[in-house]
Chain A
Amino acid sequence: MASYQEFIQQNEDRDGVRFSWNLWPSSRLEATRLVVPVSCLFTPLKERPDLPPVQYEPVLCSRANCKAVLNPLCQVDFRAKIWACNFCFQRNPFPPSYAGISEVNQPAELMPQFSTIEYIVQRGATAPLIFLYVVDTCLEEEDLQALKESLQMSLSLLPPNALVGLITFGRMVQVHELSCEGIAKSYVFRGTKDLSSKQIQEMLGLTKPAASAQQGRPVAPQDAAASCRFLQPVHRVDMNLTDLLGELQRDPWPVPQGKRPLRSTGVALTVAVGLLEGTFPNTGARVMLFIGGPPTQGPGMVVGDELKTPIRSWHDIQKDNARHLKKATKYYEAMANRSAVNGHCIDIYACALDQTGLLEMKCLSNLTGGHIVMGDSFNTSLFKQTFQRVFSKDLNGDFRMAFGGVLEIKTSREVKVCGSIGPCVSLNSKGSCVSENEMGIGGTSQWKVCGLNPSTTLGIFFEVVNQHNAPVPQGGRGAIQFVTQYQHSNTQRRIRVTTIARNWADAQSQIQHIESSFDQEAAAVLMARLGVFRAESEEGPDVLRWLDRQLIRLCQKFGQFNKDDPTSFKLSESLSLYPQFMFHLRRSPFLQVFNNSPDESSYYRHHFVRQDLTQSLIMIQPILYSYSFHGPPEPVLLDSSSILPDRILLMDTFFQLVIYHGEDTLADTESTIAQWRKNFKQLLLAPLDDAQEILQTRFPMPRYIDTEHGGSQARFLLSKVNPSQTHNNLYAWGQETGAPILTDDVSLQVFMDHLKKLAVSSSA
C-alpha cells in the first residue's frame, strides 16, 4: 500500500479533498478523544483538466430524503439493472437510458477513477453572466484615472454576451443607463436614505405600476427593455460604456477642510443588490465594489465625515467605542444575506492607505463568495493585476469563476455533518445527515456558495455518531458525497459529484494506524479555520487558549513520553510538524490583532477561510527560500537564524512577497552581495524570477517587497520569523548566526519546551 502521503496527495488531486484523519475512529467516543475532529478541506471546483464533464444528468437515489447520486461505491446488480444506494441502502432501478449497462459497459459514474464526476445539466434557460460595477468616485484624481482604465480594460475581458452595469457613488448614488444614445442617462439616489428593494425598483422604473397595465397599453416589450436598461450585453455597450467610464468625474461636491468626502457606499450597495434582485434573481452575477475610503454617510456608514474622529481601531472595538460598528455590520450582513439568497456575489476592491470599513463590509464577500482585495491605491500593480486576474481563464478558455453554487453533503449513517467554514451561507436544509453539534456554519446539509473559483475551499466538519457498543461491520467504510451544483462561467448548469469513502478503525486496537493516517497539514488548516471562526465572535486570548488546549491534548494523546519528563517527549512523524504550525498560527495575523487594523484582520481572515490547503499553510507558516553564492536556492527555516549576511532571502507569506538582501557587513567593495551585483547579475535575479512566478499565479496578487538589511520594510520578514535570537538571549549577541529580533515574543523553542512540559505533566 502506498504511503499515506501518497494516498493523501492522490485523493487531493482527484477529489480535492483533504481529511484530517484518513482512517476514521469507529465510535463517537473515540472520535472525540482524537481532539482534531474528523473533518476535511474540500475544494468543490478543483481544476481537473483531465476530467471531461458528462453530458447527461446524474442518477439519483429514489428515496425522497436521500437523493444521493449514483457513484462507484454503489453496489450494482447488472443483471437486474438495479443499484443499491450506499448511503441509505435503497435499491433503485436504473433509468431506461441505462438499459445497455453491464460489467463491461459501465457508465463513467460507476468507475472508481470517477469518484469525482461532473455532469452538464441541460435543463432551463441559461442566463448570461452579470457584472455590476459599483464605483466610488471620491478618489484622488490619479486613483480614479487608474481605476477607470482598469475598468475599461476589463470590458475587453468579459465574455461578449455578459451583461454589464455601472453604478457610481459619492455623495449620491448614480445608476447609469447604458443603452441610450446621444445623452448619458443615470438615475440618482440620495446617499443617506435606505431604500427597500421594491422602492429601488420603482424608482428605477423597473416595476410597471398596476395602473398602467390596466390602461391596456402594451407593456411587454417595454418591460424587457426596461429591465435591461441598466444591464446591457458587453458587446452592445462596449463603446458607450468605455466613453462613460472615460467621462467619469470625481465626486463634484466640495469637501470642506477637515472632512472626509461623503461616501454613500451603503446605499450604493443597496441599490446594486436591489437592482439585481429585481431583475435577475438566481442567476450568476458579480457586484464589484471599488472603494477608496470608508462609507461616511447614510446607512452602513462606518465613520463620520469629521477627520478628527479617526476610524475605529481594535482598541476602540475592545473598549466598545466604535459608534457605527454594530449598526453598519448589521446593515451589511442583512444585505449580504439578501444577495446570497439571490445567488449574487459581491466583490470588494478596497484601495486606500487608511481603513475602508472592510471589517463591517467583509460579510458581503464572505457570505457570497466574493473577493476582497485590499491595496494602497488603484494605481498599483497589485490592484491592476489582481483585478485582471479575476477574469483569468482556464485551459478551456472559460473563466475561473462559477456562480450560484449549492453544496450538498450526504453521509453514510455513521457520520454526520457538523458544519462548514468557508465563503458560504447555510441553506437551512435539515436532514438525517445533519449533526446537532455545530461547528462553523452548521445545522444544515446544504450551503450556498454564490461565487466560486477553482481554489475556493471549504472546511467541513463531521461527527462520528456511531455508538461505541455498535461496532461497524467488518470492512465497512464510511462514505461522504459532495454534490455541488453551480452555474459554470459559460452559463451551463453543472453538477459535480465527489464521493469518497474512508475505512473505519477501532481506536483501541488500531490507534497506530489512525495516528499514521493523520494529515497534519490538513488538520492544522482545519483547526486554524475553527480558530479563526471563533475569533470572529470571541476574544482573541480565549481563542488562543482554546487552541493551546487542543494542541496539548493532542500531544498528550499521541505523544510518546514518560510522565513528567519533558525531555522524553516525542511525536511521531505524522504529527511532528503540527506544533510548529500551531506556533506560527498563534503568531499569525488571523488570530493576533496587534499591529493590524480591523480591516487588515478582516482581510486576512477572509482569505484564510477560502484558500486551499497549500495556500493556507503558507499563510500560517510563510515559506522562506535562501539564495546564496554557495549553492542552489534552498528552503530554510522560518527562523531568525536564517537571516544571514551573505544571503538573499525570499519570503512568501501569501499576502506579501519579501525579497531580503542580507546585511552588507563588509562595507561596500568587499561585500559578498556587492560582489554579486557586479559579477553575478543573473544570480541576483534568481529570487526575483521566482518571486515573479509566484506573483503570476497568486490571487490576490501579493504585496511585493524588495528590501535589504536595515530597510524599513524588512519588518515584514522580521515579524514573521521565529525569534530564536532576540535581545533577551544574550548568548546570541555578536555571533554570526542570524539576526536578533527585537521582540518579547516567545520563540518556537520556548513554545515547544512549554508544550512538552504541559503535555507530560500528570496534573494537566
Chain B
Amino acid sequence: MSQQGYVAAPPYSQAQPGMGGYQGGFGGGPAQPLYGHYGGPPQAFAAPPAGMMKSPVSSAAGMPPPPASNQYNPNVQQNGAHPQRYPAPQAASVYGQPLQSPYNSMASMAPPPAQQLTNQMSSMNLGNYAPGPMQSPPPPTSSVQQPFQTSPPQAMGQPQMSPGPQSPHMSPQMSPQQSPMSGPPMGGPPMGGPPMGGPPMGGPPMGGPPMGGPPMGGTPMGGPQMTGPPMAGMGRPFPGPPGPGGFQQPGPGAAGPPGYPQQAGQFGGNMAGHQPGMPGAFPGAPGGMAGPPQKKLDPDSIPSITQVIEDDQVKRGGQVYSTNIRGQIPPLVTTDFTVQDQGNASPRFMRCTTYSLPCTADLAKQCQVPLASIIKPLANLPENETPLYVVNHGETGPIRCNRCKAYMCPYMQFIDGGRRYQCGFCNCVNEVPVFYFQHLDHMGRRVDFYERPELSLGSYEFVATLDYCKNNKPPNPPAYIFMIDVSYNNIKSGLVKLICDELKNLLEHLPSEEGVEASAIKVGFVTYNKVLHFYNVKSALAQPQMMVVSDTAEMFVPLLDGFLVNYQDSRAVISNLLDQIPDMFADTNESETVFVPVIQAGVEAFKAAECSGKLFIFQSSMPTAEAPGKLKNRDDKKLVNTDKEKTLFQPQKGVYEQLSKECVAQGCCVDLFLFPNQYMDIATMADVPSHTGGSVYKYNNFQVETDGEHFLRDLRKDVQKSIGFDAIMRVRTSTGFRATEFFGAIHMNNTTDIEMAAVDCDKALTVEFKHDDTLSEETGAHMQCALLYTTINGQRRLRIHNLSLNCSSQLSELYKSCETDSLINFFSKSACRAILNQPLKTVREILVNQTAHMLACYRKNCASPSAASQLILPDAMKVFPVYINSLMKTAPLVGSTELSTDDRAHQRLLIMGMGVEETQLLLYPRLTPLHNMDVSIKTHPAPVRCSEERLTDSGMFLLENGHSMFLWLGQAIPPDLVQNIFNLPSLAHLQGNMCALPELDNPLSNKVRAIINDLIEKRPNSMKLHIVRQKDKPEMVFRQFLVEDKGLHGGASYMDFLCYVHREIRQLLT
C-alpha cells in the first residue's frame, strides 16, 4: 500500500523527485546544485521559499533550537556563527523562535531533559549545520533574497526532523507561489505569521480553521517575546517581498511592525469572509481572527481535540444512532451513543474515512483524501445493543449472487414479483430459490422484510455449511496452548510461577459463546527452553506426563491424545501440572531459548488435532539456541535516520515468513508475551503474531512485584476476549470502486482474500478503496464485508457487514463527510507499513504533504475565497493536523536514537492492528485533571488538552493513551491530596516504583481509583500505572505523551506544525 498511498499520490508525483533532491541538498553537499537550480529561475523568490521551508522544518522537527537562542549556548556555539552572519535573518529566527518559546518552557519545567537536549543539539550540529554554511554563501542576487537564504541554513540545522519531507513538496510549487507572493504582499506576510508563535491564532478560539491568517499579526508579538533580533524576523520571511527589506534591517522588532498593522486588519476581514464559506464551522473564528495579533498566540485558539470531542458528546452523546440513512456520518468514536441497526453496519464494525465518496477517480485524486474503511469485524457491542442475529438457511447455505457471490443483504433489489432479485453489487439478476420466495408488498419490499435479518439489517451472521469448512468437515473447537519459556530468566523473575498460578484461575473462565455454559476450548501446555516439553494431561492419568522434544530442527508433536484436553475434564491433572512446573525447573541454569520451533510445535499440534487455535507464548529472551529461526542481535542505532533505518523494522529471516504462512493455513494465532531485559528483535519475533491476528505484549525488565498485576490483567483480557479463528474475509463493493489495499494483522495470499488465523474483538483492519469507474450519486456505493470464521465453540459462521455510502461529484460533500478519526487510522497504518520500505524521512514528508494537499484542496474548491493568509480547515478535519503531528511523533516514525528499536518495532506492529478508537487515543492521549474534580459526580472529569501548559504545579493529572497510564503529581500538590490518595504526609515520601494506589476509604481515593480501574477495564490492553512527580526523572517519559508540545525525541509542537502546514497550503495554492 505504502507505495500506492504515497508514491502514487498523483499531484505530488512530480514534486517528489524534486523533493528528494531538495532534501539531499539540505543534508549535505549534493543539495547545493539543486538549491542553485531553484534559485536560478525565480531567483529572488525561489531561494527564499527554500529558506522558509527549512525553518518550518526545523520547527516541525522539534529540533531544538534555532541557533539564535541564547539559552542553548553550549550547543549553539557553532550555530552562533550563523546567527552572527545573518543577524538580520529574521526569517530564521522567526521560525526558531516560536520553537524556542515552547522549548524554553520545557527546559525550565524539566531540568532533567537537558541532557537529551544537548545530545540532540550536538547531533544536529554535526549533521545539519554543516551544509548550512555551504548554502549561506549563495550569491545574493537580490537583497531580498539574501535574507531568505540566510534563514535556510539555520533551518537546516533543525531539519533533522520530519520537516524535511515537506520541503520537497514546497519546492516544486514554489514557482506558482512566487506570483502570489509578489502580487499580494499580504500573502507573504501571513506565511511568516504562522510560524511565529501564532499569536494570531488567538483570534479564533473555537473554529481554528481560519488559523492561518493571524500569525502575521503575531509577528510583532513574537518580537517582544523572543530574544530580540530573531523575533523581528518571525513574520518576515514569508512576507517575502515586502518583509525582506524590513528584515534585512537588523532592527529586531522594528522591521516587522510596519507590515503588521495592515495585516491584522486584513485578517479580520478575511475571516469574516471565510466564514460564510464554512458553514457554521467556524463560529468563533471571526471574532478571534479579528482580534489583534499582538499577544502571544493563544493555544486555546487553535482547534482543540478535547473541545471537538466534548462538542460531539454534547451533541450526539447518549442518543440512538439509527443506521437507516445512506452515507450518514456516525458520531465520533469517543462519543457515547447507542446504535440501532437499520440496514447499515454499526460504526463499531465499520467506519469510513468519508461517507460521501467522490464520483470520479479524478476527484479522488484531486482531493487526496484516502477512501478507506476500518473494519473491526468482531467488535464487541455494548450490552444495550442487540447482538447479531444468526441466520440459518439449512443445507443450502446462505443465498448469494451468482456472479459476484455477494451474500443476501438489504441492497438486493427484489423484482419480478419477488421471483428474482438484482444484486446491489454487480447488478446481476438472480433467481430467488424456491424455498426463499416471498411476495412483495406495494412498496416492492418483501413481505418478510422484518423477519429476515439479512433483508433488514446491516450486520448479521449465517451458519456456514460444510462447503465453507476445511476439507468439508465441520471444524473442531479451537484450542489454546500455553507455551511457557522456563529458561533461567523467567524462573528467576518468578514469572513462571506467576503464570502457572494464574492459569489455574484463568482456565476456569475460558470464553464461550453466549448462551453456552461450558467452554468448548481445549487447552494444552508446553514449556521450553532449548528444548520443548509437552505435557500429557489426559484426565485418566494420575499424574501429568512430560515429553521432551529436543529435536528442534524438525519439530513435531510427540503426543496426540492428552495434549489438548478439556480443562474441566482434566482439571485435577492440569492443576497438578501447574503446581509442579515452577518446581521442576527451579534450579535450571539454561538460559538459551528457541522460538520458531515453539510455534511450529503449536502448528503441528493443531494439525494433528485438526483444529485451529491460539498460542500464548511467554518468552523472555531472544532465541539464540541452535534451531531454526535463531536470531542475532542486529540492533544498530547508527541506522537511525538513514535510508537503512527501515531494516530495523523488517523481519530478519525467511523462516519466519514461511512460518506465518503455515500458521495462517492452519488457523494458528500467536500471541506473544515478551519480558525482555535487552534487545530482542521484536521486528522479527513479532512477525508471526502480526500476520496471524495475534497480539504482542511487552514488559520491559519485568518484575513480579511491579509488573505482575499489569501482565496478568493483559493475560486475562487476552484469554477471555471473544475471538474467531481460521478466518477469511472478503470485502465486496458495488461497481465503480473496489478494495485495493489492506492493512492489519493479516495475511494476504492473493489480492482479495484477507486471511487471518484469528481475529479478535479488538483487531481492526483498514481497507483502502480505489475507483474503477464513475460512481453514481443516485445509487451510492455499497460495500459488504463477509467474514468466514470458526467460533470459539467450533461453529463455522459467516458474518456479514453491509454499509452504504453516498457518492457526490462535489468535493465539499466529501469534506463534509470526512471522519478524522478514521482518516488518522488509515494514515497511521499506511505510514507504519511504509516505513518498512521507505526511509522515515520520506514517509514523514509524504504525510505532511498529503495533509497539506488535502487541506489545500479544500481551501481551493470548497471554501469561499479569502485571503491566502488565512488557514481554513474543513470542519470535519479541523483537528486533523494535531493527529498527523502526533503520528509523526510516535516512536516508529520519530527516528530518534533515544528510543529502543524494540519499542519502536513493537509500537509499529500495534498500530497495524488498531481500530479507530485505539489510534485516536494513542495519538491524542487523555489528560484528565484529578485535583479539582467533583468527587460526588459519577462521570469522569473532562480531559484537557495534551499540553504542558495545562498542567499546574498544584495539580494531579491522569494521562492515558490505551497503552500507558501516568498519574502526574505537581510539585506543589497540596499535602491533603497526597494524604488522601497515598496516605503519605508528603510527596517526598512517595516510593519511586509504586504502580498502584493504596486502597484508602475516602471519597477522593475512591474516585481516583474508580477512574483508573474503569479505564483499565475499558481499554483493550491493560495499562500499568506510572506515578510521576513533577521534575522527577520519569517525568520525561510522561512528557512525550503531551502531544501538543514539542516532541521529546523530535517533532514539532502542534502550533508549529499548524503553521508549517499552513505555509505548505499557501504554497500549494499559489
| Nearest 7 Cβ contacts at the A-B interface | A203-B550, A188-B558, A252-B561, A184-B545, A187-B548, A185-B546, A252-B560
Number of interface residues of B (CB under 8 A): 26
- Does B584 touch A at the CB level, under 8 Å? yes
Knowing A182-B580, A183-B577 touch, does A190 contact B554 (C-beta < 8 A)?
yes
* B972 lies within 8 A of chain A by Cβ: no
Nearest chain A CB to B975 CB, angstrom units: 52
Q: Is the CB of A187 within 8 A of B545?
A: no
A380 CB, nearest partner CB in chain B, Å: 29
Whether B548 and A186, one on each chain, are in contact in the complex, defined by CB atoms closer than 8 angstroms, is yes
CB-based contact A203/B545 at 8 Å: no
Q: Closest CB-CB distance, B610 to chain A, in whole Å? A: 11
Tell me which of B531, B545, B558 contacts A183 (CB under 8 A): B545
- CB 8 Å contact bits of B550-593 with A (1 = contact, 0 = none): 11001010111110000000000000110010001000010000
B548 and A188 contact, CB distance less than 8 A = yes
> Is A23 interfacial (CB-CB < 8 Å)?
no
- Chain A residue with Cβ nearest B538: A249
Given contacts A182-B543, A182-B580, A184-B545, contact A204 B550 (CB under 8 A): yes
In this complex, what residue of B is CB-closest to A252?
Answer: B561
Q: Is A310's beta carbon under 8 Å from chain B?
A: no
Q: Residue of B at shortest CB range from A202?
A: B550
Q: Which residues of A contact B561 (CB under 8 A)?
A: 249, 252
8 Å CB interface, B499-556 against A = 531, 533-534, 541-551, 554, 556
| Distance, CA A190 to CA B559, complexed state (A) | 11
* Cβ-defined contact, B556 with A203, below 8 A: no
Which applies to chain B's interface (DSSP): helix, strand, loop or mixed?
loop
Residue of B nearest to A187 (CB): B548
Q: CA–CA, A187 to B548, complex, Å? A: 4
State whether the Cβ of A638 lies closer than 8 Å to any Cβ in chain B: no
A190 to B548, CA, bound (A): 11
With the chains together, A253 CA to B543 CA distance in Å?
21
Residues of B within 8 A of A174 (CB): 547, 558
Q: Which residues from A are CB-within-8-Å of B560?
A: 252-254
Whether a CB of chain B sits under 8 angstroms from the CB of A217 is yes
Q: In the complex, what residues of B have CB within 8 A of residue A188's CB? A: 534, 547-549, 558-559
* Complex contact A217–B531 (CB within 8 A): no
- What are the residues of chain A within 8 A of B544 when measuring CB–CB? 183-184
Using CB atoms, name the residue of chain B closest to A189. B551
Whether B546 lies near A193 (C-beta < 8 A) is no
Contact B589 A212 (CB under 8 A): yes
A183-B544, A187-B549, A205-B531 known; 5 new pairs, CB 8 Å cut-off, are A183-B545, A186-B547, A187-B548, A212-B589, A252-B561
CB contacts (< 8 Å) of A193 on chain B: these are 551, 554
- In the bound complex, residues from chain A placing their C-beta under 8 Å from that of B545 are 183-186, 247
Is A172 in contact with chain B by the CB < 8 A criterion?
yes
CA distance A195 to B560 in the complex (A): 23
- Kindly identify which residue among A187, A203, A247 contacts B541, using a CB–CB cutoff of 8 Å: A247
Whole-angstrom distance between the Cβ of A509 and the nearest chain B Cβ: 72
Q: Which residues of the other chain, B, contact A187 by a CB distance below 8 angstroms?
A: 547-550
Residue of A182, A188, A193 with most chain B CB atoms under a 10 A cut-off: A188
Residues of B within 8 A of A185 (CB): 533, 545-548
A-B contact pairs, 11 of them (CB 8 A): A172-B556, A172-B558, A182-B580, A183-B544, A184-B543, A184-B546, A187-B549, A188-B549, A195-B551, A203-B531, A247-B545
List chain A residues, Cβ under 8 A from B541.
Answer: 247
The distance from the CB of A278 to the nearest CB of chain B, in whole angstroms, is: 14
> Measured between alpha carbons, how far is A186 from B543 in the docked complex, in Å?
13
C-alpha spacing A252/B545, complex, angstroms: 14
List of B residues within 8 angstroms of A182 by Cβ: 543, 576, 580
Residues on the B chain within 8 Å of A253, using CB? 560
Contacts of B580 in A (CB 8 A): 182-183
Contact of A190 (CB < 8 Å), options: B542, B547, B556: B556
**In the complex, chain B residues whose CB is within 8 Å of the CB of A205:** 531, 550
Cα–Cα distance between A268 and B556 once the two chains are bound (Å): 16
Chain B residues with CB below 8 A from A184, complex form: 543-546
Provide the residues of chain A in CB contact with B531, threshold 8 Å: 203, 205
Q: Which residues of A contact B584 (CB under 8 A)?
A: 183
Complex interface bits, A186-214 against B, C-beta within 8 A gives 1, otherwise 0? 11111001010000001111000000100
Look across to chain B and name the residue whose beta carbon is closest to the beta carbon of A203: B550
Determine whether the beta carbon of A252 is less than 8 Å from that of B550. no
Which residues of B have CB within 8 Å of A203? 531, 550-551
Q: Which residues of A contact B554 (CB under 8 A)?
A: 190, 193
Q: A252 touching B559 by the CB < 8 A rule?
A: yes
| Across-interface contacts of B542 in A (CB, < 8 A) | 243, 247
Residues of A within 8 A of B550 (CB): 187, 189, 202-205
A510 to B544, CA, bound (A): 78
> In the assembly, what is the distance between CA of A214 and CA of B899, in Å?
35
Tell me how far the C-beta of B573 lies from the nearest C-beta in chain A, rounded to whole angstroms.
10
- Kindly state the separation between the CA atoms of A254 and B561 in the bound complex, as whole angstroms: 10
Asked whether, in the complex, the Cβ of A183 is within 8 Å of the Cβ of B543, the reply is yes
- Give chain B residues whose Cβ lies under 8 Å from the Cβ of A190: 551, 554, 556
> Which chain B positions have C-beta within 8 A of A247?
541-542, 545
Point out the residue from A217, A243, A249, A252 that lies within 8 Å of B589, measured CB to CB: A217
Nearest A residue to B553 by beta-carbon distance?
Answer: A193
Contact indicator per residue, chain A 157-193, by CB within 8 Å of chain B (1) or not (0): 0000000000000001010000000111111111001
Query: Which A residues lie within 8 Å of B551 (CB)?
Result: 189-190, 193, 195, 203
- Chain B residue at minimal CB-CB distance from A219: B589
Q: Determine how close the nearest CB of chain A comes to the CB of B817; give it in whole angstroms.
A: 58
Map CB proximity to A onto B185-207 as digits: 1 under 8 Å, 0 otherwise: 00000000000000000000000
CA distance A187 to B549 in the complex (A): 6
Q: How far is the CA of A203 from the CA of B552 in the complex (A)?
A: 9
Closest to B581 in A: A183
With both chains docked as a complex, state the minimum distance between the C-beta of A275 and any C-beta of chain B, in angstroms. 13
Complexed CA–CA distance, A249 and B580 (Å): 23
CB pair A186–B546 under 8 Å, yes or no, is yes
* A185 vs B547: C-alpha distance when bound (angstroms): 6
Query: How distant is B584 from chain A, measured CB to nearest CB, in Å?
Result: 7
Which residues of the other chain, A, contact B558 by a CB distance below 8 angstroms?
Answer: 172, 174, 188
Q: Roughly how many angstroms separate A193 CA and B534 CA in the complex, as a whole number?
A: 19
Chain B nearest CB from A104 CB (Å) reads: 67
Closest Cβ–Cβ distance, residue A225 to chain B (whole Å): 11
**Among A186, A189, A212, A243, which residue has the most Cβ atoms of chain B within 10 A?**
A186
- In Å, the complex CA distance between A249 and B562 comes to 11
Smallest CB-CB separation from B608: which chain A residue?
A: A253
- How far, in whole Å, are A188 and B601 apart by their CA atoms in the complex? 13
Rounded to whole angstroms, the CA-CA distance of A205 and B560 in the bound complex is 24
Which residues on the A side are within 8 Å of B543 (C-beta)?
Answer: 182-184
Rounded to whole angstroms, the CA-CA distance of A676 and B548 in the bound complex is 64
Kindly state the separation between the CA atoms of A186 and B534 in the bound complex, as whole angstroms: 10
Rounded to whole Å, the gap between the CB of B607 and the closest CB of chain A is 13
Chain A residue nearest to B592 in the complex (CB): A211
Nearest CB on B from A124, distance (A): 33
Q: How far apart are the CA atoms of A433 and B805 in the complex, in Å? A: 103
Closest A residue to B550 using CB positions: A203
Contact residues in A for B546 (Cβ distance below 8 Å): 183-186
0/1 string, B80-121, CB within 8 A of A gives 1:
000000000000000000000000000000000000000000
Q: Which of B542, B549, B550 has the most CB of A within 10 A?
A: B550
Bound together, the chains give a CA A193 to CA B560 distance in angstroms of 19
C-alpha gap A474/B322 in the complex (Å): 127
Question: How far, in whole Å, are A186 and B562 apart by their CA atoms in the complex?
Answer: 15
The CA-CA distance from A73 to B653 in the complex, in Å, is 77
Q: Which chain B residue has the least Cβ–Cβ distance from A211?
A: B592
Closest Cβ–Cβ distance, residue A24 to chain B (whole Å)? 59
Task: Find chain A residues with CB under 8 A from B547 CB.
Answer: 174, 185-188
Interface residues of A in 242-266 (CB under 8 A from B): 243, 247, 249, 252-254
Instruction: With CB as the reference atom, state the residue of chain A lying closest to B555.
Output: A190
CA distance A476 to B477 in the complex (A): 89
Give, as a whole number of angstroms, the nearest-CB distance from A613 to chain B: 49
B532 smallest CB distance to A (angstroms): 9
B541, B548, B562 interface centre (most CB from chain A within 10 Å): B548
